[in-house]
Amino acid sequence: MTPGRFISLEGGEGAGKSTQATRLAAALGERGIETLVTREPGGSEGAEAIRALLMQGEVTRWSPHAEALLFAAARADHVEKRINPAIGAGTWVICDRFIDSSRAYQGLAGGIDDAAILALHGFGSRGLLPDRTFVLEMGVAEGAERAAGRDGAAADRFAARGEGFHQDVAQAFRRFAADEPGRIRLIDATGAPQVVTERLLASLADLLP
């Protein structure tokens, strides 16, 4: 059996990652490709339990180092229980956030060395990287406005952080894309959802069967 592919969607708050994960899965399904849509933190029973610890409470509930450890633990369970089995079965996995979010949020924006984040990932998740990572880009202010309008929900611990923090996150993703152009692609996330999906498919063309 031919292994599946692993695609991650990254970007700042309100960029439309969840929406595009669902739309991309539907577009691939129309091409006869079986998909699994999942998310981080979360995606497996153990990881979802850790998600509740990470996303709720005051912004200062966890230090960046504690966050990095919690994310790494959640990711390790997610990879072992869901992502790797699906890929091995020939399914294309589409994940709303993965290791590059830890590198951006706890790493560059949180002050932890990138090598330390990757070392945790190497131990917990055997260094698994997506075949293609899409960074959905839009202005920080526009993304924050979108995030604030999600069904009236209160901002989580990460969305509630200041504009300077989110500017650092955006800069981190751009740096990663410049360093790894073969894996990481910047995608304009402005415009109608169907237009953004078309941009994703165009940037995925080289991996499509």
Q: What is the CATH number of the domain that holds 164?
A: 3.40.50.300
- Quick check: is 114 in a domain? yes
Per DSSP, 61 falls in state S
- Give percent of the chain above pLDDT 90: 83
- Quick check: is 122 in a domain? yes
- Quick check: is 85 in a domain? yes
pTM (2 d.p.) = 0.92
- Quick check: is 176 in a domain? yes
Position 29: which residue type?
Answer: G
How many domains does the structure of the chain reveal?
Answer: 1
CA angle (75 as vertex; 125, 104 as ends), nearest 5:
100
What is the number of residues in the chain? 209
Reduced to 3 states (helix: H, G, I; strand: E, B; else coil), residue 11 is strand
| Whole-number Å distance between alpha carbons of 41 and 29 | 25
The domain of 133 spans 6-207
Output phi, psi for 57, to 5 deg: 100, -175
| Whole-number Å distance between alpha carbons of 84 and 126 | 11
Quote the pLDDT of residue 148: 64
Per DSSP, 189 falls in state -
| Whole-number Å distance between alpha carbons of 179 and 186 | 12
Residue 181 zone, left/alpha/beta (φ > 0; ψ -120 to 50; rest): alpha
Residue 1's pLDDT band (cuts 50, 70, 90) = confident
75-125: pLDDT as tens digits: 999 999 999 999 999 999 999 999 999 999 999 999 999 999 999 999 999
Does residue 153 register a pLDDT over 50? no
Check the CA dihedral 28-179-105-119 and report its sign: positive
10-33: pLDDT as tens digits: 999 889 999 999 999 999 999 999
Quick count: other Cβ atoms within 10 Å of Cβ 10?
29
Position 63: which residue type?
Answer: S
- Quick check: is 1 in a domain? no
- Quick check: is 90 in a domain? yes
- Nearest residue to 29 (alpha-carbon basis) of 92, 85, 83, 82: 92
Residues 51-58 have a mean pLDDT of 91
Residues 148-165 have a mean pLDDT of 70
Does residue 149 register a pLDDT over 80? no
Position 163: which residue type?
Answer: E
Does residue 7 register a pLDDT over 90? yes
| Whole-number Å distance between alpha carbons of 60 and 71 | 16
User: How many Cα atoms occupy the beta-carbon half-sphere of 78 within 13 Å?
Assistant: 28
- Quick check: is 50 in a domain? yes
- Nearest residue to 114 (alpha-carbon basis) of 103, 105, 130: 103
Interhelix angle 64-78/45-55, rounded to 10 degrees, is: 160
- Quick check: is 42 in a domain? yes
Residue 143's pLDDT band (cuts 50, 70, 90) = low
